[in-house]
Amino acid sequence: MKKFTHCLITIVLFFALTACLQAQVTVVGHITAEVVSALTATETSPLSFGQFSPETAGGQIILTPQGIRSSTGTVNIIGGMHNQGSFFVTGEPEALISIQLPSGSTTLTNSANSGTMTVTSWVSDPSPQSNVTIPSSGAQSVNIGATLIVGTILNNPVGLYAGTYNITFNYN
């Protein structure tokens, strides 16, 4: 009888455990999705190094994101309008964005005589290394500066030099 009782208890426990293991439970999960404002950017002011004369040896013109212009070498700054490049970026308020400046140089060309100059050393305010947060207004200004490499008057004859550059803004 003990064997029978022991066998019966084993069978009952087996079915009880099997029933527990085969039990199902259904749980409700929740899903969310949020659409945010598209990130847009508009150039509000082109980058302009202004008027200058390279003279005999050339040099550089450095233009900061704050619009401060200086020169090296024999480059003589004449005057005329100069300004940092400016962009108006709009997007989701309080969102983090990144700024990607050109990674290399850009060539400016004089269409009248094929002379060229190079723009390098791109900088911005705010800087690409900072965590830029779009203000609660949903708009952020970004200013760009760079360095213009100027050759001699023979290499860079009189005329207007022009070119383009790419700047990228991304949500982080």
* Residues 6 or more apart whose Cβ sits within 8 Å of residue 149: 58, 60, 105, 117, 118, 119, 120
User: Residue 48 gets which letter from DSSP?
Assistant: B
Q: What is the pLDDT of residue 37?
A: 84
Q: Residue ranges per domain, the chain? A: 39-171
pLDDT the model gives residue 111: 87
- Res 1: pLDDT: 59
Contacts for 75 with CB less than 8 Å, ≥ 6 apart: 52, 53, 54, 55, 58, 59, 60, 61, 150
The one-letter code for the residue type at 43 is E
State how far the Cα of 133 lies from the Cα of 130, in Å rounded to an integer.
9
Residue 40 main-chain phi, psi, to 5 deg:
-130, 155
The arrangement of secondary structure in 39-171, i.e. its CATH architecture, is Sandwich (2.60)
Could you state, in chain order, the average pLDDT of each consecutive group of 10 residues for the chain (172 residues)?
A: 61 56 85 91 97 94 97 92 97 95 96 93 93 94 98 92 96 91
pLDDT of residue 42: 97
Predicted pLDDT of residue 41 = 97
